[in-house]
Amino acid sequence: MGKVTVWTDEGLRTIVTTRDQVWYADEPLESGGTNTAPTPTEQMLGALGSCIVITLHLVAQRKNWPLERVEVHLDIKRFAGSEYPAYSGDEQFVHEIKEKVILHGPNLTDDQRKMLLDIATRCPVRRVLAHPVFFVEPEGEEVQGAAAG
């Protein structure tokens, strides 16, 4: 999969690198940031939307379906776990992602649209977000700048 390295740049802004790509994350001015880059949450939603778009285009290309463009609108809200009607667990907070996928391609059949919308629910990033994730420290890898234990 992918390795990413992140470090402090200026104030709350961070530098993010992977392979030979560099980008930034920041917070809005009212949160103490410099408002020079998307927030980490906005980037997460961007990753999810990008994954959906790329996945659907790859499927359509493989099947020679006339998909011209995919548009994904996403928003996330946090709720107290005890106040969210569809949740009965013990977590303090739950998150709700509102998602709208719009398929552009006037020659797509209803069956093709239905299948693409179903596939959109199974892109790799969505699977990470929707299924259990475990955070572990890498074994045997020296990390520069890490405090000695």
Instruction: Looking at the structure, tell me whether residues 33 and 2 fall in a common domain.
Output: yes
Q: Which domain holds residue 76?
A: 39-130
Instruction: Looking at the structure, tell me whether residues 51 and 26 fall in a common domain.
Output: no
Q: What span, in angstroms and rounded, lies between the C-alpha atoms of 98 and 103?
A: 17
Q: Which two tokens stand for residue 5?
A: 């390295």
Q: What is the mean pLDDT of residues 101-108?
A: 97
- In the chain the beta strands, taken as DSSP E runs, fall at 5-10, 13-18, 21-25, 69-80, 93-104
Q: Which two tokens stand for residue 142?
A: 């020296």
Instruction: Looking at the structure, tell me whether residues 122 and 61 fall in a common domain.
Output: yes
Instruction: Looking at the structure, tell me whether residues 90 and 106 fall in a common domain.
Output: yes
pLDDT digits (tens, 9 = 90+) for 80-92: 999 999 999 999 9
Q: Tell whether 113 is covered by a domain.
A: yes
Residue 139 has pLDDT above 90, yes or no: no
Q: How many domains does the structure of the chain reveal?
A: 2
Which pTM does this prediction carry?
Answer: 0.88
Task: Report the chain's mean pLDDT, rounded to a whole number.
Answer: 93
In this structure, which long-range contacts are made by residues 46-51, counting pairs with CB atoms below 8 Å and at least 24 apart in sequence? 47/125, 48/72, 48/74, 48/97, 48/123, 48/125, 48/126, 48/129, 49/74, 50/125, 51/123, 51/124, 51/125, 51/126
Q: What span, in angstroms and rounded, lies between the C-alpha atoms of 95 and 75?
A: 10
